A and B are shown apart, each in its own frame.
Chain A
Amino acid sequence: MKTVEDAIVDSNWQLAGDLWQLVLRSKSIPKQIEPGQFVHLRLGEKSEHILRRPLSVHDVFADQNGNFEYLSLVYQVVGEGTDYLTTFSKGDTLNLIGPLGRGWQPARGINSALLVGGGVGWVPLALLAGSLTAMGVEVHCLIGARNAEYYDALAGGADFRPYALRDTQGADTEKFFEHVATDDGSAGHHGFNTDLLEGLLAKYNFDYVATCGPEPMQSKVAAAAMAREIDCDVSLERRMACGVGACLSCAVDTVDGSKRACVDGPVFKAQEVVW
């Protein structure tokens, strides 16, 4: 159920460079979020920014009483709007619409998944990594980042690893793997994460691939997965106005014609998308 809700800022801090983490307290949205969904965030009541910002949900977590009321959003400062978002602090109110969109669609009964995230595109995959791990699926995370600091911010400093292993006491943590590539070689492979793609696909027997990040990266991942006939989901970023399917700003070309990233996506089957 889509809710329009005033959420309260719990924290908003700089993870690394232009990457920030915003944690919000929201009564109804964290409970309903499925991995890959997003919230549409209004930049304050009095802002000159009249368009909301669609932000992927990175994590949800509970307070001491077990109430799932916290929502973690990791965002990159890319313009005036996201720059303004960094000025909000604990106790401030931010209005959300959510949960929105169609999330990741792994088939039931999968055994081994490859999650490929490029930069801040890793964010919507973090929750998926957690939920697949909790289901006992072998999860390989292939993360591309600018440098070691960004990699830590995306995968380590934030809640990703804690979440992935949090609700999985008893789950086999030996089924959880991280592979990393950085632009400057300060962590993992020196180069693109897609350089490691073929090696991983050849070595492991994946039955699901999910990817989010720059579209050239996603299209490479999609092509590689489709070549091996592995079920593959991609998550596409588009500018959005309404976020609920009405305005047709976020059009995505698909084999079935134009679709809306906000309600038909942001996750699409790789073979649906016309790249």
Chain B
Amino acid sequence: MNAQNATNEAPSEMQILDMSVNLGGLEMKNPLTTASGTFASGMEYAEIWADSAKVCDGHVPSSQAAQAPCGGLNHRQLSINPDTPLSCLGAIITKGVSLNPWPGNDGLRIAESANGMLNSIGLQNPGVEAFCTGDLVWLANQDVPVIVNISGHSVAEYMAVVERLESEPAVSAYEINISCPNVDSGGMGFGTDPLTAAEVTAACRTASKRPLIIKLTPNVTDITEVARAVESAGADAISLINTVAGMAVDIHTRRPVFDRVVAGLSGPAIKPIALWAVYRVYQAVKLPLLGIGGIRSAEDVVEFMLAGATAVAIGTANFTDPLTAPKILVDLKEWCVTQGIKNLRELIGALR
């Protein structure tokens, strides 16, 4: 906790700022996590966060957080433990993990659009076994709750991934991706139909007692219908939104930019869509919500919480500025202090 550095409040007052939230049984020390696919397993960002702390500090205390003002940080004092940089987050959500290795999509994989970007990565990943023996071993020592994002081509594949991960104590929760527009079979196909969404949810539910978060797509007529279906099927929380389906055109070749034509739009451009989805689903279900879509500032976090989110994920903003998440944490604490907020949970759904 370092909000005392940003204000003149006495330390004793600071200790009563409670930022913790509970996302469907997952205890998070603050509401900040990372959107799947933008953060890999966090290793690359951990290195940059730790290095930024070093550059700023000149020397690195090994056991305590480095207080780090430096270029690029706009005079913020980041609170980053150089040994476990990700431990400042409430949780990390991993890149999508599938049963077997997936190669990802051919052709161009990204394109910029105004205040946003399109991606067609295609859930490239080495499969659950390689994940367990690779990234997860590293994640187990990072002092941060691990939410593993899961993809599948069939209900059986989703279930098989959950079953394999059940024996891994480093895993805290699952986020089930039934909403990716970038794969042919499975992906978004499961999330656009309330019946199949419920089917995947129920299958994963039987395979685990761990917190089960279902990630929904905005590419439906009524997102609340799918939300109610996964609630009835045993989900513990809902994350929303995945990317918005879109495309790009190359006028020189007169061809679609992406081999699969469709791609997923993310970034600040979709924030209003995401807020509207969170607001509506908050009215429709009792489950806690993880808000995702164009979040890049502490103000954005507060907006999503007021609309009904219990926690939020930083996605595309990680690309714009790799230090976004730690900066938001500092700013969010400062905002709470200036607003006299002692418990961040009081913001959840507090829209007047």
Contacting residues, chain B, for A251 (C-beta < 8 A): 104, 109, 124
From B38, B103, B109, give the contact of A246 (CB < 8 A): B38
Q: Which residues of A contact B20 (CB under 8 A)?
A: none
Asked whether B48 lies within 8 Å of A244 as measured between CB atoms, the reply is: yes
CA distance A154 to B232 in the complex (A): 64
> Is A3 positioned at the interface, with any CB of B under 8 Å from its CB?
yes
| B109 engages A48 (CB within 8 Å) | no
Contact with A along B34-61 (1 / 0, CB 8 A): 0001111000110110011011000000
Chain B: number of interface residues, binned into ranges? 35 or more
The residue from A5, A81, A249 contacting B109, defined by CB atoms under 8 A apart: A249
Interface pair A258/B104, CB less than 8 Å apart: yes
Q: A48-B115, A50-B115 are in contact. Are A4 and B110 (CB under 8 A)?
A: no
Q: What string of 1s and 0s marks CB contacts (under 8 Å) between A221-255 and chain B? A: 00000000000000000011111111111110000
Q: Mark B73-112, 1 if CB is under 8 A from A, else 0.
A: 1000000000000000000000100000001100011111
B172 within 8 A of A: no
Residue of chain A at shortest CB distance from B112: A51
Q: Is A89 an interface residue (CB 8 A)?
A: no
Partner pick for A1 among B54, B319, B320, CB 8 A cutoff: B54
B264 within 8 A of A: no
B152 sits at the interface (CB 8 A): no
Please tell me if the beta carbons of A239 and B321 are within 8 angstroms of each other in the complex: no
Contact yes or no, B322 A50, CB < 8 A: no
A250: chain B residues within 8 A (beta carbon): 109
Q: A248 — which chain B residues lie within 8 A by C-beta?
A: 40, 95, 104, 109, 121, 124
A95 and B321 within 8 A (CB): yes
The distance in angstroms between the C-alpha atoms of A240 and B112, with both chains bound, is 10
Question: At the interface, yes or no: A161 with Cβ under 8 Å from chain B?
Answer: no
Flag if A241 contacts B110 (CB, 8 Å). Answer: yes
Residue A49, interface by CB 8 Å: yes
* A contacts with B: majority SS: loop
Judged by a CB distance under 8 angstroms, whether A58 is at the interface is no
A234 CB, min distance to chain B CBs, angstroms: 19
Asked if A50 meets B267 with Cβ closer than 8 Å, knowing A239-B111, A246-B38, A246-B39, the reply is yes
Interface string of A19-62 (1 = CB under 8 A from B): 00000000110000000000000100000111110000000000
The residue that B44 contacts in the complex, of A5, A50, A51, A244, with Cβ under 8 A, is A244
B169 in contact (CB, < 8 A) = no
Q: Does B71 contact A (CB under 8 A)?
A: yes
- For the complex, is A6 an interface residue (Cβ under 8 Å from B)? yes
A2 beta carbon closer than 8 Å to chain B: yes
Residue contact B112 to A247, C-beta cutoff 8 Å: no
Name the B residues within 8 Å of A27 (CB-CB): 71
Q: How far, in whole Å, are A83 and B50 apart by their CA atoms in the complex? A: 34
**Taking beta carbons and an 8 Å cutoff, which residues of A are in contact with B?**
1-6, 27-28, 42, 48-52, 81, 95, 97, 239-251, 258, 263
A-B contact pairs, 14 of them (CB 8 A): A1-B55, A6-B72, A51-B117, A52-B319, A239-B108, A240-B110, A242-B38, A242-B322, A247-B37, A247-B110, A248-B124, A249-B109, A249-B119, A251-B104
Given A1-B51, A95-B72, 5 new contacts (CB under 8 A): A1-B55, A4-B72, A42-B320, A48-B114, A51-B110
